[in-house]
Amino acid sequence: DRTLRELADAQGFRIGSGVEAWLIDGEQRYRDTSAAQFNSLTPGNEMKWGSVEPSRGQFNWSGADTIVATAQANGQLVYGHTLVWHSQLPSWFSNGGFSPEEVRTLMTDHIATTAGRYAGDIYAWDVVNEPFNEDGSMRSSIFYDNLGTGYIAEALRAARAADPEAKLYLNDYNIEGINAKSDAMYELARSLLEQGVPLDGIGLQSHLILGQVPADMQQNIQRFADLGLEVTITELDVRIQLPADQAELATQAEDYRKVVTACLNVDGCTGVTIWGITDAHSWIPDTFPGYGAALPYDENYAAKPAYQATHEAL
Ligand code: XIL
């Protein structure tokens, strides 16, 4: 039977996985499955600022290097995640008491260093992650609070300078359907493009709850594509209240099918990345207690109905 990546390759589509270096290093089945099934890898944590510069000026590239080298050895793309985000920042930066000018310089230096290190190796960067609140207002963060909305354009310009080949994305969650938050992303994207700011794509994280794929997801993807932007489903998972029964796993499979199909139906929606591989290692149970079983492989690496549905949709 053909793998997901063979099916995706045949149509120039990206099917990706969010992976972690410690699992690539530590688990044969994880390593084998990620290599066999996916043609794109996103580092789950390894490129975040807190990972790469835990102390000021002291860099740790080991996890990020592992994922880039693994992808290159396997003929996979690397989707870079993420340069500017309110979370998983190093404490020396968050708690440093920096002035707005210092925040600006530290942010653009971080982008230059990180995107510069991997320049030429990255398909796309999530340049800014999660800029919005649910009501569509700008999320408070060290970046927004010090620099205002302009930090987004500044970050995109710095990323373009550091790696002219990478596609530059804005990424957020709960923007899969048409709602106040995705409207805000749409308006931001439109206005950045109008101002000539480098922006190539919008990432829809797609951390979904069972049975809740928005009915207008394809329509929402289409409106971003109509701006001339690429769209990627960047962090797909579908969480279920545990324990998951067979009927729920069947519903989950339909959810995966709907998301992959919505993307494939829109020219300009160029890939789907699943946020992990196996239910044995997923961020869901830690972050949403009582929920899990969100990925296409179960805890023993057996393919679930969600895998079959993804395969069929491709
Ligand atoms: C998550 C990782 O999967 C976890 O290992 C980590 O503890 C927290 O972050 N949105 C994002 C991702 O953009 O970076 C998050 O990843 C999940 C939500």
Q: Domain spans of the chain?
A: 4-313
pLDDT at 285: 98
Q: What is the pLDDT of residue 59?
A: 98
Question: Is any ligand 1 atom within 6 A of the Cβ of residue 169?
Answer: no
pLDDT of residue 64: 99
For residue 69, what pLDDT is reported? Answer: 98
Residue from 23, 45, 237 whose mutation best tests the ligand 1 pocket (most atoms within 8 A of CB): 45
The CATH class of 4-313 is: alpha beta
- Give the up-direction half-sphere exposure of residue 282: CA atoms within 13 A in the CB hemisphere: 29
| The pLDDT of residue 175 | 99
Cis peptide before 243 (omega within 30 of 0): yes
129 CA: nearest ligand 1 atom: 13
Annotated catalytic residue 235: yes
Give the ipTM of the model, two decimals please: 0.99
The total of other beta-carbon atoms located within 10 Å of residue 106's CB is 18
- Is pTM beyond 0.80? Reply is yes
What is the rounded average pLDDT for all residues in the chain?
98
**For the chain, first and last CA: distance in Å?**
13
Contacts of 65 (CB under 8 A, 6+ apart): none
The residue ranges of the chain whose pLDDT is under 70 are none
User: pLDDT tens, 23-49?
Assistant: 999 999 999 999 999 999 999 999 999
Q: How far apart are CA 23 and CA 149, in angstroms?
A: 37
Question: What pLDDT is stored for residue 294 in this prediction?
Answer: 99
For ligand 1, whether the C-beta of 129 sits within 6 Å is yes
Q: What is the structure's pLDDT at 290?
A: 98
| For helices 100-117 and 151-162, angle between their N-to-C axes, nearest 10 degrees | 30
Per-residue model confidence (pLDDT) at position 245: 98
